Chains A and B, each alone.
Chain A
Amino acid sequence: MNKPESISGGSTTRKSILYNGKTLAQNRADMYNTSKETGHYDGLTELKLKKSDPITFEKIFSKLRAGVVNARETAKKIAASPIVEQEGELCFTLYNTAGDCVCTSTGIIIHVGTMGMCIKYMIENNWEEDPTVNPGDMFTNNDCQIGNVHPCDIATIVPIFHEGKLVAWVGGVTHVIDTGAAGPGSMSNGQVQRFGDGVQITCRKTGINDKPMRDWQHEVQRNVRTPKYWILDERTRIAGDHMIRDIVEEVIADVGVETFLTFTSEIIEDGRRGLVKRINDILIPGKYNTVAFVDVPYMHEDVHVPSPFAKVDTIMHAPCTITVKPEATWRLDFEGCSRWGWHTYNANPTAFTSGIWVMMTQTVVPTERINDGSLFASEFRLPKGTWTNPNDRRTAHADAWHFLVSSWSSLWRAVSRGYFSRGYLEEVNAGNSNPCNWMQGGGFNQEEEIHAVNSFETAACGTGACAMKDGLNHAAAIWNPEGDMGDCEIWELAEPLLYMGRAIKSNTGGYGKYRGGMGFETLRMVHNSADWCMFFMGNGYMNSDWGLHGGYPSATGYRFEAHNTGLHKRIAEGKSLPMGHDWNPDEPDYENHLEPGAIVKRDSQCITTEEIFENGDLYLNYLRGGPGFGDPLDRTIENIEKDLNDVVLLEEYAIKIYGAVFTKDAEGYYTVDADATRARQAEMRKERLSRGTPVKEWMKGERQNILDKKASKQVQQMFASSFELSQPFLDKFRAFWSLPNDWLVTEKELGVPAFGAKHHMDLSQMPDVKTVVLVEE
């Protein structure tokens, strides 16, 4: 008989693995409900441990926090992937028994919530009974339907037991270089559904007795292009998790398990109070209304998608009202967002709510005390069916960041209005660059192995301008506060792409009294590869970074690629080569250093799918700048002169934007004539008055454009999608433009396919699945 003898119909009842005797689900429900009812995490109106023994409280925190940070710094050295080892794309987080974050390391701390959601999913779906949760277990998750940002963020979760009882969970996450999606690279964009988005692992038990299971390893390694990196990334995560587990054991040995468990609740309530205090200290109550957009230009011939219904130009729409309440909590309402789409830029509520903290910890709560307490002081409204909360289980998410970073830049701009009004000018950030391009591709590399690349030079884009200084050049990314472009030498080891130049990108930061930080550009030549493809991923026709208080948005992206370049011949003959700057794309120079017959693509199409690149072909990786602050005519003469001499501002735009009148000496040094410049600026002000129209007059003309439906199809589709999902947004739109009550634009009348608009199936409709919802929908 092959039937196991111990099971006799239905499930077996196991003894509780918690000290309090509850099931994991009951334990979490009690904590969550008490928190909601009382407004204090776990009903903790008083922090008894912190109050009675503050030294022990702080000692525990310091030890745990140092432990998670140390685990990250140590474990990342195990990884071979430069994404992890160079860019620090990893994070370790400790959770309490309910899956709420106690403390987290530095790094990609968006995963405070994503790994927590994975734990909550296991709790709510009774993993306790099947597949069971035991000491020495490991669980792996990258499922975006549960809460992951995109499939390339792989999380390894380890339960921590003491005397046979669960006392905590620890999670480690790394951004792997490839997930076996339809296209190579971790954030590819040719696929339009989950089914091409790479390997999908749903909280699977992948290890027992502290060892990854052999069947798991055999299966998963052959599902990705880069098994070497995959294996070492997993070892990184396991090592970090186990280091943190050791620290927890030490803490319990030191203070006792009861104190430890009390601490893991109190610290979260402490985190909640911390956010409330900070909001009270730094913001102004009221409503902050903001919006962001970004382009999805899929009609172009260089975008190849498998499904005809995905071949449409669309625009991401993310309006947000942030309400700072009198009691210093806040609500972020995304009513009016556009629908999810057939591309890889969809997000889910946890990616959104958790991700916001990676940004907010750089501004509102710059503290090591970040944990799930912040979430309990915040309300999020992410309407179901929008790209922030898809209502269909087929959605792809590989480059969720395309939409996420675009929408968050507007949030930073919004809170900066509060900082400015309150006088905290040092905190103002006009927004942030859309950190791209994402240079990706794959084929056979210089070691003749199947390979994929995803350059993380994007981790060092320009930052937004502040209200008292310029933004930082090539410094950071909104999704990783530890911005680092990585070393050329390391990238050349990881990619069959030689550097033909790496330089600051002039004119990329938005102009203003204080300008945005500049991006940079690297020109890469494909070398020693075989059967190689590459593609572009970023914004080109639109810009999601607006500028603040009169500052200009940063420059948009563009694409440059060259094929059949004849560069090997030119190198052999000692001829000039395209190197370094692409100074002004309107006056291209790279082309002057290519052989006749070279095929060049130089345009705004910054999203493409796999294209064949031969050895000797060129790819320009242009990393964006940040937006500006304040009227450019307020910029000091000294700063204009410095921009010219630092070669971050093209002469033509020093004249057009700042009215600069200058001379250039024989050595190329610029001197700006202050009097002549001020005189020119006075003329420019008069020109503004003469070309400006009273807003209410202009509105009449724009209203007529709306009535006549004069706008591109993609703009109308964006509105149609938002109108269909949001009556309040439609009502506001009609009211603002004084439109008739029956005015409407629909996708049907535009003749664009709208698969998923009417017919969709949510994950919650799957059998035996209990979804976890933490936001208003």
Chain B
Amino acid sequence: MSTTYTKKQVAELIDGVLDWETVRRMLFMPKDPLRFSMYIEVLQERAKWEDKIVLPLAPHLYIVEDKNGDIVNKCDCGYVFGPYQENWKLNALIYVRDSVEKFNQVYPKLMSPDAEWQVYREYYCPECACQHDVEAPVPWYPVIHDFEPNIAEFYKWVGLEVPKGIAA
């Protein structure tokens, strides 16, 4: 048996202002199957563009279906990072912290990594400068494609119609 929540509560969860009692219930009780639909609905209402949200990837990053039916990675600001199957990071801006001075902008020197061992790679939206991700690998490490969702299967799991542009 699962508990159900209102769209308002889901919106408050997104905004980080949902009361703790409800959050606790969300944690303790079986998951509410309608969450995804409500979540998408709230985010869609807030979007500055008309494209249909298929899957949120990060607080300001989505997989969307555009007006041509193409499925792309898109920023809140409207910047498109390319087809959804591709790693959006390859179309972002990158800033690599690889020296004592650069790390010291983030942490005290003794509380940050040694650039001989590790670097921070910050990925920004080229248009709005949102920091969508920070990697902390060793130098040389390939850019990580964090998540390759099987959207077709997922939409079946949640009982939604699979967007046409999604490969089966």
Is the Cβ of A631 less than 8 Å from the Cβ of B146? no
Q: How far is the CA of A699 from the CA of B141 in the complex (A)?
A: 11
Which residues of A from 405 to 461 have beta carbons under 8 Å from B?
A: 414, 417-418, 420-427
Residue of A nearest to B143 (CB): A695
In angstroms, Cα B123 to Cα A732, docked, is: 22
Contact flag A733-B113 (CB < 8 Å), given A425-B13, A546-B135, A693-B95: no
* Contact status B110-A286, CB under 8 Å: no
Select one of B112, B124, B134, B149 contacting A284, CB under 8 A: B149
| Complexed CA–CA distance, A718 and B117 (Å) | 10
Cβ of A724 to closest chain B Cβ, rounded Å = 16
User: Any chain B CB within 8 A of the CB of A755?
Assistant: no
B114 proximal to A (CB < 8 A): yes
List A255-305 residues whose CB lies under 8 Å from chain B: 280-282, 284-291, 293, 295
Q: Assess the A686–B129 pair: CB atoms within 8 A.
A: yes
The distance from the CB of A569 to the nearest CB of chain B, in whole angstroms, is 28
Stretch at the interface among A49-57, A222-230, A547-555: A547-555
Q: Which residues 10-32 of B have a CB within 8 angstroms of A?
A: 10, 13-14, 16, 18, 23, 26-27, 30-31
Contact, CB under 8 Å: A688 / B124: yes
Q: Does B150 touch A at the CB level, under 8 Å?
A: yes
A692 within 8 A of B: yes
A715 and B144 contact, CB distance less than 8 A: no
In the complex, chain B residues whose CB is within 8 Å of the CB of A650: 108
**Is A623 part of the contact surface with B, judged by Cβ < 8 Å?**
no
> What does the 1/0 interface line of A662-689 toward B look like (CB < 8 Å)?
0000000000000000000000011011
Q: A693-B93, A695-B94 are in contact. Are A542 and B147 (CB under 8 A)?
A: no
Report how far A577 CA is from B10 CA in the complex, Å.
52
CB distance from B94 to the nearest CB of A (A): 5
Interface pair A549/B111, CB less than 8 Å apart:
no
Cross-chain contact A285 with B157 (CB below 8 angstroms): yes
State which residues 132-150 of B face A: CB under 8 Å.
132-150
Q: From A280, A293, A420, give the contact of B138 (CB < 8 A).
A: A293
Contacts of B148 in A (CB 8 A): 286-289
Q: Among residues 87 to 123 in chain B, which have CB atoms less than 8 Å away from a CB atom of chain A? A: 89-96, 104-114, 116-118, 120, 122-123
Q: Interface centre among B31, B36, B123, by most A CB within 10 Å?
A: B31
A558 in contact (CB, < 8 A): yes
Q: Which residue of B lies closest to A733 (CB)?
A: B142
Query: Which stretch from A13-21, A98-106, A391-399, A705-713 is at the chain B interface?
Result: A705-713
**A585 nearest CB neighbor, chain B only:** B110
Instruction: Find out whether the CB atom of A287 lies under 8 angstroms from the CB atom of B147.
Output: yes
Q: Which of A286, A290, A685, A719 has the most CB of B within 10 A?
A: A286
Picked from A508, A552, A558, A698, the residue with its CB within 8 Å of the CB of B134 is A552
List residues of chain B with CB within 8 A of the CB of A726: none
Q: Which residue of A lies closest to B56 (CB)?
A: A421
Residue B126 at the A interface, CB < 8 A?
yes
Among B60, B111, B124, which residue has its beta carbon within 8 angstroms of that of A692? B124
Interface centre among B111, B118, B137 (most CB of A within 10 A): B111
Partner of A715, one of B10, B136, B140: B140
Whether B27 lies near A421 (C-beta < 8 A) is no
Taken residue by residue from 71 to 82, chain B's Cβ proximity to chain A (1 for < 8 Å, 0 otherwise) reads as 000000000000
Among B13, B96, B141, B146, the residue within 8 A (CB) of A288 is B146
Which residues of chain A have C-beta atoms less than 8 A from B111's C-beta?
Answer: 507-508, 555-558, 585
Q: Which of B31, B39, B107, B139 has the most CB of A within 10 A?
A: B107
> In the complex, what's the smallest C-beta–C-beta distance from A422 to chain B, in angstroms?
6
A287-B147, A468-B13, A586-B109 in contact; A423/B93 too (CB < 8 A)? no
- In contact, A542 and B150 (Cβ under 8 angstroms): no
Contact between A695 and B139 (Cβ–Cβ < 8 Å)? Answer: no
**A285 CB to nearest chain B CB (Å):** 4
Query: Smallest distance from the beta carbon of B22 to chain A beta carbons, Å?
Result: 9
Q: Do residues A550 and B131 form an inter-chain contact, with CB atoms below 8 A?
A: yes
User: Would you call B38 an interface residue if the criterion is a C-beta within 8 Å of the partner chain's C-beta atoms?
Assistant: yes
B: interface residue count bin: 35 or more
Task: Please give me the residue from chain B that is nearest to A737 by CB atom.
Answer: B142
Q: Report if A714 contacts B (CB, 8 A).
A: yes
Looking at chain A, what size class is its interface with the partner chain?
35 or more
Q: Is the CB of A688 within 8 A of B142?
A: no
Q: Give the complex CA separation of A161 and B146 in angstroms.
A: 50
Q: Is the CB of A732 within 8 A of B142?
A: yes
Q: Does A380 contact B (CB under 8 A)?
A: no
Interface residue A490 (Cβ < 8 Å from any Cβ of B): no
Contact A426 B116 (CB under 8 A): no
Q: A502 interface residue, CB < 8 Å from B?
A: no
Please, which residue of chain A has its CB at the minimum distance from the CB of B115? Answer: A712
Digitize A344-381: 1 where CB-to-B-CB distance is under 8 Å, 0 elsewhere.
Answer: 00000000000000000000001000000000000000
Question: Is A694 a contact of B116 with CB atoms below 8 Å?
Answer: no
A542:B118 contact, CB within 8 angstroms: yes
Residue of A nearest to B92 (CB): A695
B50 in contact (CB, < 8 A): no
Q: Of B36, B129, B134, which contacts A547 at CB under 8 A?
A: B134
- Specify the chain A residue showing the minimal Cβ separation from B154: A284
* B13, B89, B118 — most chain A CB neighbours (10 Å): B118
If A414-B146, A425-B13, A694-B126 touch, whether A541 touches B113 (CB-CB below 8 Å) is yes
B-side contacts of A718, CB under 8 Å: 138
Q: Which of B36, B109, B114, B133 contacts A542 (CB 8 A)?
A: B114
* A696 to B94 CA separation, bound complex (whole angstroms): 9
Q: In the complex where A602-B110, A688-B124, A715-B138 touch, is A421 in contact with B147 (Cβ < 8 A)?
A: yes
User: Are B36 and A468 within 8 A (Cβ)?
Assistant: no
> Contact at B90–A695, with CB atoms within 8 Å?
yes
B75 to chain A, nearest CB (A): 12
Checking B93, B117, B135, B147 against A286 with a beta-carbon cut-off of 8 angstroms, the contacting residue is B147
Whether B108 contacts A424 by the Cβ 8 Å rule is no
B58 at the interface (CB under 8 A from A): yes
Residues of A near B120 (CB, < 8 A) are 552-553
Give Cα A422–Cα B10 distance, bound, in whole angstroms.
12
Are A696 and B39 in touch, CB under 8 angstroms? no
A553 with B153, Cβ < 8 A, contacts A291-B144, A417-B146, A604-B114 known = no
B27→A549 contact, CB < 8 A: no
A-B contact pairs, 7 of them (CB 8 A): A422-B35, A423-B38, A541-B114, A549-B132, A550-B58, A694-B91, A698-B96
Residues of A that sit less than 8 Å from B by CB: 280-282, 284-291, 293, 295, 315, 317, 324, 326, 328, 366, 414, 417-418, 420-427, 467-469, 507-508, 511, 513-514, 541-543, 546-547, 549-553, 555-558, 584-586, 602-604, 630-634, 650, 653, 656-657, 685-686, 688-689, 691-696, 698-699, 702, 705-706, 711-712, 714-715, 718-719, 732-733, 736-737
Give the 8 A-B CB pairs with smallest separation, nearest first: A692-B93, A423-B39, A555-B111, A685-B129, A736-B142, A286-B149, A585-B110, A558-B110
